Amino acid sequence: MTEPDETGGTTPHRRRSFLARRTGTDDFGIVLSLLVTAYVAYALSSALWVELIVLVLYLFTLGLAVRTSRPMPHQKRFVRIVLVVSAVVAAVALLALPQAAADGVLDAVVCVILMTALVVILDRILRRTAVTVQSLAGALSAYLIIGMFFASLFGVMDAVTDGPFFASGEEANARSFQYFSYTTLTTLGYGDYTAAMFPGRSIATFEALVGQVFLAVLVARLVAAFHGRSEAVLPEGTDE
């Protein structure tokens, strides 16, 4: 089967994949929905099966982010390598390591996946000249990813250091790390969870700085540009 190309000739019709048929360019709304689902899953439980489900969601999120961001060929190859290696390392850790060590490896795998997804999404947002609703969804997705990345990083630190991670002696698991990460990222600072050691405190402080800079620079710029674009398309003489 053929279809006309831009020169008037015909090119072979290629069957689109399942993901391509259901996502469009810069369709970051689905990415955001997957991340919110992962957040809710961790908020409800920190059981091992929940961690595995969230890991699968992260892998799918990365694949979808690549699909919707239209990266360069070398970026696609790198992401494929990250996906395959992450899946293999996670499987080996679950089968061959004690649960405590496996949790630390899974957190490290999640850090790599989330950082890759963050770079892919931000690269696409910054390359766009027009600000759309999908751009805002991509920025919100990136903000959620930052919180999830630091939550997993805290899990890695807990696995490789001796002693309790939290000064209050609270249980350190995926759910408490996520809570601590987002209260730090948003600078709420309730005080019920604080890092016991200076490495954890330093990373928490850095996360707070990253969160504030991200909101003040990127998100505020996108919202302002989107608002200005909306005003520009209003007919002359139209009141808001």
Which amino acid does the sequence have at 35? L
Residue with tokens 């928490």: 204
CA pair distance 113, 74, nearest whole angstrom: 17
Question: What's the pTM?
Answer: 0.81
**For residue 209, what pLDDT is reported?**
95
Cα dihedral 103/104/110/115 (nearest 10) = 170
Q: Which residue has the higher pLDDT, 201 or 170?
A: 201
SS3 percent helix, strand, coil of the chain, rounded to 5, is 70, 5, 25
SS3 2: strand
Under the banding of pLDDT at 50, 70 and 90, the label for residue 89 is very high
Burial 91-114 (b: 16+ CB within 10 A, else e): eebbeeeeeeebbbbbbbbbbbbb
Share of the chain above pLDDT 70, in %: 82
**How far, in Å, are 17, 62, 81, 145, 173 from residue 85 at the CA level?**
23, 13, 6, 20, 24
Q: What pLDDT does 126 receive?
A: 81
Two structure tokens written together for 49: 């099966």
List, for residues 208-228, the tens digit of each pLDDT value: 999 999 988 887 777 776 655
Residue 235 has pLDDT above 60, yes or no: no
Work out the mean pLDDT of the chain and round it to a whole number.
81
Per-residue pLDDT of 9-36, as tens digits, reads 554 444 444 444 444 455 788 999 999 9
Q: How confident is the model at residue 6 (pLDDT cuts 50, 70, 90)?
A: very low
218 DSSP assignment: I
127 against 179, higher pLDDT = 179
